[in-house]
Structure formats: C-alpha cells, structure tokens
Amino acid sequence: MLGKVSLEEAFALPRMREQTERWASLFAVDGHKHAREVTDIAEIRTRYMDEYGVGYQILSYTAPGVQDIYDPEEAHAFAREINDYAAEQTKGKEDRFGCFATLSMHDPTEAAAELERCVLELGFKGALVNDTQRSGRDGDDMIFYDGPEWDVFWETCTKLDVPFYLHPRNPTGTMFEKLWKDRKWLIGPPLSFAQGVGLSMLGMVTNGVFGRHPNLQIIIGHLGEHIPPDLWRIDHWFEDIKKPLGMAAQCKKTIRDYFAQNIWITTSGNFSSPLLQLCMTEVSADRILFSIDYPFEQFEDACTWFDNVELNKIDKLKIGRENAKKLFKLGKYKDSEAQLKR
C-alpha cells in the first residue's frame, strides 16, 4: 500500500552518540546499524519510506530521552534542544515528515507551555512522552501524569486539539532493583514496556482524566500494550466490582467508551494478524493506526506484513493512512491519495 502514515518512529541527537550506542547494545543485534539509523533524520529513512510505501512519518525522540533526566532544568533544556533540532531538520520536508514534541514532564505548566510552542510555532503534530518522568534527587522517584495537577497540561492538549502518544520507558531505580534486575530479559518489549504503559493508561482512565477532559486523545503503541485482549475482564471488574466499591466517583464511562472516544492504538512493533483482528473486534478499525517502531523494528517486517494482511480495502485504508490523516489533520503528502491495489 502506498502513502502509509507511521507515527512511532524514533530519532536521536547526533551528540548523544555514546548513549545511543549503549542503548543499542541492549536492544539491537546490530548496534551500529541501529545507531546509524536512529541518528539519521531523513536520508536513510526516506530511502526506506520510498521502498516500502510510507508516505509520511511523524518523528519522536528515542526513549527514554528526557524522561530519564531527573534534574528538571536539564530536562527542560534538553527537550527544547530536541524540538528545535527536529524542526530544523524537517524544515522543507513537510510533505514527508511531521514531529511530535518532546517534553520534560517535571512541571505540568512548563510542559504545557513547551507543547504550545511546538504546536503553534514549530507546527508539531502533538507530543510523544514516555510513561513516567524519572524524578527526585537521586532519580529514584517517578512522576505519573494522571493526577489533578496535570489538568492544566491536558487542557492544553485539548485546546490545541493535538493527540498525546504515551510511549514506554525502561524501569529505573528501586522499581528496577526490586522487579526487573533479576529478570533482565523481560525488560522492554517482552513485558516491562506494556506493564509501564498499561499502568499509566489505565491510571488515567480510573483517576478520571477523561472525565475532566472528554475530548483528550491518547495514542498507545504495540497494538494496545496488552490491554485489548483483556478488555472483557477489565470491563467486568470495573463495572461489576470496582465501581460499586467507589471507583464510579471519578470514572463515569466504561473502559470500552474510553477506547471508542479517547484512546487510539498503533501497530508499532506488533505485526500480528490474529491480534490485529482481535483489536478490530474489540476496539474497531476506526481507532487503529499503522506504525513501525523504526529503527527498533524494520520497515520490511512492518510494511510487508501490513501490505499483505487480509483486510477489506476500507479497513486497510483507514488503518494505513485515513485515520491518521483525520487525527493529525494532514494535508497532501507523498502518495496520500494513491489507489489501493489489493
């Protein structure tokens, strides 16, 4: 399929090469290739996009990024540097690339102001943030975004009418020590990422964020971070047990309502046909967006899978590009109107 849109696509600052190589050594079999690809914005990437029919990508800073920086001032300065770099590097390439804002999440008002700068001045399409902000003097604390102090930030997202991509980060501090250190192969895509995002996502649902911000749009990757297959059980426990026990005060609608009205899922890094079918049944093709997770995953794997997966034409177009066009109010980009062959 030509003209696909993908939106969980990472880059790194060239000056962070050492950190990038270290990260690559944990998550890439060919670390040098990964480092080269993640540090590139538009050369290697555009070649892949052309080869595999991706018309438009929304770029975001590679994890854990700013969410790993527990000094608030340093975090904010790093976020601004990344945003200015992304804007400069994609200038003149607006028909192929958009950007998600990178934000320091130490302070809700400051995060809101930087998001506003990115959207209004730099033309960014929303924000991508990792599930918690590392914080505290020794970096052992973490900030969740589901409390009332974050209302000012979520108000800004809805006022600007841009989505927020909730992306995973690796466990750190005591959490790492207690849960993951002795089970290190489960860190990342096998388990810890889905647990981290699931906790934050369902925390937002049950702490009433969508009740207070009914138009807020949150995107999660990896075909829903293990939530869609569990929707029946979550719904049953929310409605039949947790609400009678008091949860109803801040969580008025059902989990299925929030998935229909506030939550989007992408195919990033999860190219499973049976799971896609399940997500279409449980969540609907109207809330699913194609994505790759480059360069942690390969264009070839994502695009060959999606181009060949058995879907009717309407759903393939929705997931491959039409939902993204609407959500991000995209104008014309390469192959944005191309006919679907099969």
The question of whether 251 is a catalytic residue gets the answer yes
Which tokens sit at 165?
Answer: 């991509």
Minimal distance, residue 195 CB to ligand GRE, in Å: 14
Q: Does 197 bind ligand GRE (CB under 6 A)?
A: no
Contacts of 289 (CB under 8 A, 6+ apart): 5, 7, 219, 264, 265, 266, 267, 319, 323, 324, 327
Q: Which of 189, 162, 28, 15 is nearest to 103 (CA)?
A: 162
Nearer to ligand GRE, 20 or 104 (CB): 20
- Letters for 255-284 (x = contact with ligand GRE by CB under 6 A, - = none) are --------------x---------------
Tell me which of 21, 27, 250, 253 binds ligand GRE, using CB under 6 A. Answer: 27
- Shortest reach from residue 268's CB to ligand GRE, in Å: 7
Q: Judged by CB, which is closer to ligand GRE: 210, or 264?
A: 264
Shorter beta-carbon distance to ligand GRE: residue 12 or 255:
12
Q: Is residue 237 at the binding interface for ligand GRE, with CB under 6 A as the rule?
A: no
- For ligand GRE, the binding residue among 296, 299, 328, 333 (CB under 6 A) is 296
Catalytic residue among 118, 251, 279, 303: 251
CA-to-CA distance for 147 and 150, rounded, in angstroms?
Answer: 6
Q: What would the two tokens of residue 234 be?
A: 């979550």
Question: Does 293 contact ligand GRE by CB under 6 A?
Answer: yes
CA 231 to chain centre: 20
Compute the C-alpha angle 232/238/239, nearest 5°. 90
Burial 177-187 (b: 16+ CB within 10 A, else e): eeebeeeeeeb
Residue 44-63 contact track with ligand GRE, rule CB under 6 A, x = bound? ------------------xx
* Residue ranges of E strands in 108-181: 127-130, 133-135, 141-143, 164-167
The Cα–Cα gap between 284 and 221 comes to 15
Of 3, 53, 171, 188, the residue at the interface with ligand GRE (CB under 6 A) is 188
Residue 176 binds to ligand GRE (criterion: CB under 6 A): no
Helix (H) or strand (E) segment spanning residue 6: strand 4-11
Least Cβ distance, residue 26 to ligand GRE (angstroms)? 7
**Does 187 interact with ligand GRE (rule: CB under 6 A)?**
no
Q: How many residues bind ligand GRE (CB under 6 A)?
A: 9
Which residues are at the interface with ligand GRE (CB under 6 A)? 10, 27, 62-63, 188-189, 269, 293, 296
Hey, which residues are catalytic here? 251
